[in-house]
Each structure stands twice: as C-alpha cells, then as structure tokens.
Amino acid sequence: MATRSKSSRRWLEEHVNDPFVKKAKKDGARSRALYKLEELIDRDRLLKPGMNVVDLGSAPGSWSQLVAARLDGRGRIFALDILPMAPLAGVEFLQGDFREDDVLAAFETMLNGEAIDLVLSDMAPNKSGVDAVDMPRALYLSELALDFCDRHLRTGGNFLIKLFQGVGFDDYVRELRKRFDKVVIRKPEASRKRSPEVYALAMGKRATPK
C-alpha cells in the first residue's frame, strides 16, 4: 500500500510540473494529448478542408477539439468513446463501448455511408498495472480500430493510432504495412519518455491488402 501511495505521489508531482499540462490549461485544451496530435498532423499535413474524420477513443475531446478548430466547419468529425464527452461544436459524438457490436452498428448508422478520409485512434484500456493483462487488451482495441478502417476508411485514406510497444506490436505493424502504402512510427514530444506508447501513422490505404 505504501508503494502504491509513493507511486501516486510521484505521478501527481510529474503531472503538476508537466509543461504540456500547464500549456493545456493556458490554451483551454481539454487535455495535454492535444499537443501529441498537433505535432503529428502538422508534421505530415494530415488535415485538409472538407475531410471526414473519425476520432476513436475521443474523450475528453482534445483531439476532436483540435480537428474541429483546424477544419473550421469545412468537413465532418465523428467521435466515439465509452466515456462521456462534453459537447464540441462541429463534432458528432456517440457514447458507447467500441467492443460491442450494437455500438459499432449505431456508429456506422451515424456515419451514414460517408467516405472517411482519416481515422484517429487514441484508445487505451483501463490499466491494471499487469502487462500480461494490459497488452492483450490494448492490442484487441487496436485490432478493432484496424477492422474499422478496413470497412470505412476510403482507398488512399490515412490512419493514426496509439500503440504500446510489447508483445504483438511488431505483428500489428506488419498488418498495417499490408494495408497501407507507407507506415511510420512516431513518438511526439508530448508523449512521456518512460511511456511505452508510440503512434503508428499508416498512409495511403490500398484498395486491397498485399
């Protein structure tokens, strides 16, 4: 119990002193995660006016917040999360569990057959602290996101997803390379260095996988 308390204090100190946390408060960003996406979309010029964008695992909404600001009403943003998310102008949100078929069906109804240009996934499971449990859960969500791209992302579209390095990571990246023309792994500055998270950017969805 003492170890957990010490760890919690260390996390709190790190969080309070985090420059991106301070910047988020100053800028009115919903979370520091906004700056991860900002670096990634600026580096590879992922957003263009008129795009249809899907944000999987959207709560508290910082990624949708950034996309909405950049598109400025010239495009559509669809967001999904198991957690509630405060409304954002220009964002169509559905609360539900991405792992459940009926939620996915409701989300697909919301899309109404729209061609999707960019899929964003910042999904992560609730962590137990046990890698043997957390990694399979995270990988399962990643596989669901890729299945979603198979069904809804247009040919030539792009996919940006948070992944955790560990068991299954290399196999998942190989699957991305079969489906997309180019796949790169990024570690944005706002990602904490000790975190195993990285972002895979898969560009140019192929009409048929290799």
Separation of alpha carbons 197 and 166, rounded Å: 10
Residue list, annotated binding site for S-adenosyl-L-methionine: 61, 63, 81, 97, 122
Q: List the catalytic residue out of 6, 48, 127, 162.
A: 162
Catalytic residue status for 48: no
Sign of the alpha-carbon torsion through 188, 191, 193, 194: negative
Separation of alpha carbons 42 and 159, rounded Å: 15
Helix (H, G, I), strand (E, B) or coil at 113: coil
Separation of alpha carbons 142 and 69, rounded Å: 26
Structure tokens at 70: 């950049």
Closest of 52, 51, 79 to residue 65, by C-alpha: 79
Separation of alpha carbons 80 and 179, rounded Å: 23
H helix intervals, 30-168: 33-44, 62-71, 101-111, 131-152
State phi, psi for 92 to the nearest 5 degrees: -100, 115
Confirm if 154 and 201 have CB atoms less than 8 A apart: no
**Which residues carry out catalysis?**
162
